[in-house]
């Protein structure tokens, strides 16, 4: 793809300048968290695009540690909500406190009013609590009593869930999962990485964490730069082709190695196209480029699409996951 005459006011030097503090943040988190570079990068992409992130993985893989360390590296308000089956919507959003002296009610805002919110083990909360979180995630506001308040700006929900424990949990409905821009599968570290973890963390002393390296103004500047990263018309067509193929793979002329029309129950919505374009811009920004390439789409595409493609019973019977289907799409649909 030619980058001549891109009609862009943004230069690679400007991108590199604004990306500098963000890279320092990634490096600072990496000084604490071992072997989860892609997870850290994806969390930062969510922060740069205003997209919420869902982290799924077995216990003990540093999901919570990564989010809290990321929050430590920002001059931003952070709150953590430990989701439990007895949690109430008021515990998340807030409530009205009665003042007996004058008979008035005063709003007490809940932990959702912050810049970075860690929703730990979100699938342990019942449906009414999950729906209370939904408005804040989508509309960036929350209602207490008769009054609606704006939440933090920037506002980012980073949620974790345990995929192997089913008893006493409430699986997130598809409508709410779709609100998350990215869904990350957090895997085990390698043998060498785990050896480093043992050396670094085996002391019983509390880890000091990291000092803030970026402020809200720098994050806002970086987000503004991300919004100016150039996306060519052919890249936009490529994004739409990928997302449309998840809905109607039979309409795509490709030599499929999988029988996709029988394997896909529901495809991704237009929200996926927007998320893919925004995430690709942020990925290019972190790489120091003022324009998006097809490699940006492929790098971040799995995290954007894996939770938006619902497989059929035939796919489940054959052991084919949504990730297998997304990989097939990237392998067969021509890149510009």
* Integer Cα distance of 204 and 72 in angstroms: 21
Q: Taking 80 as the threshold, does the pLDDT of residue 314 lie above it?
A: yes
Closest CA to 87 of 128, 145, 117, 143: 128
pLDDT attached to residue 8: 55
User: At 276, is the pLDDT very low, low, confident or very high (cuts 50, 70, 90)?
Assistant: very high
Q: Taking 50 as the threshold, does the pLDDT of residue 5 lie above it?
A: no
Average pLDDT over the chain, rounded to whole?
A: 86
What average pLDDT score do residues 48-65 get? Answer: 87
Q: Taking 90 as the threshold, does the pLDDT of residue 235 lie above it?
A: yes
pLDDT attached to residue 52: 92
* Integer Cα distance of 253 and 238 in angstroms: 14
Residues ≥6 apart with Cβ < 8 Å to 43: 53, 66, 67, 70, 158, 184
* Integer Cα distance of 332 and 222 in angstroms: 34
Domains of the chain with CATH codes: 12-201+213-224 (3.40.50.300), 229-332 (1.10.8.80)
Q: Using one digit for the tens of pLDDT, what is the confidence trace for 106-133? A: 888 989 999 889 998 888 888 888 888 8
Mean pLDDT check: name the lowest of 21-30, 127-136, 198-207: 198-207
pTM, rounded to two decimals: 0.87
């Amino acid at each position: 793809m030619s980058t001549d005459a891109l009609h862009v006011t943004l230069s690679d030097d400007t991108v590199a300048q604004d990306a500098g503090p963000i890279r320092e943040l990634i490096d600072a988190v990496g000084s604490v968290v071992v072997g989860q570079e892609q997870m850290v990068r994806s969390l930062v992409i969510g922060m740069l695009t205003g997209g919420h992130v869902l982290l799924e993985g077995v216990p003990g893989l540093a999901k919570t540690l990564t989010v809290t360390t990321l929050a430590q590296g920002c001059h931003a308000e952070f709150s953590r909500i430990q989701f439990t089956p007895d949690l109430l919507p008021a515990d998340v959003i807030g409530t009205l406190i009665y003042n007996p002296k004058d008979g008035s009610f005063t709003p007490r805002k809940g932990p959702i009013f912050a810049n970075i919110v860690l929703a730990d083990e979100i699938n342990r909360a019942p449906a009414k609590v999950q729906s209370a979180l939904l408005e804040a995630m989508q509309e960036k506001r929350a209602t207490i009593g008769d009054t609606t308040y704006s939440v933090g700006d920037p506002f980012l929900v980073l949620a974790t869930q345990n995929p192997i424990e089913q008893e006493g949990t409430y699986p997130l409905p598809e409508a709410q999962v779709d609100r998350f821009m990215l869904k990350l599968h957090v895997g085990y570290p390698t043998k060498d990485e785990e050896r480093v973890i043992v050396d670094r963390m085996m002391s019983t002393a509390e880890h000091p964490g990291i000092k803030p390296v970026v402020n809200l103004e720098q994050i806002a500047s970086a987000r503004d730069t991300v919004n100016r990263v150039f996306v060519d018309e052919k890249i936009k067509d490529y994004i739409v082709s990928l997302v449309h193929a998840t809905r109607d793979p039979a309409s795509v002329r490709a030599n499929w190695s999988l029988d996709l029309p029988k394997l896909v129950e529901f495809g991704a919505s237009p929200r996926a196209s927007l998320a893919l374009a925004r995430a690709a811009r942020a990925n290019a920004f972190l790489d120091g480029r003022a324009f998006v390439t097809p490699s940006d789409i492929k790098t971040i595409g799995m995290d954007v699409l894996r939770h938006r493609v619902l497989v059929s019973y035939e796919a489940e019977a054959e052991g084919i996951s949504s990730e297998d289907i997304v990989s097939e799409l990237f392998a067969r649909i021509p890149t510009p």
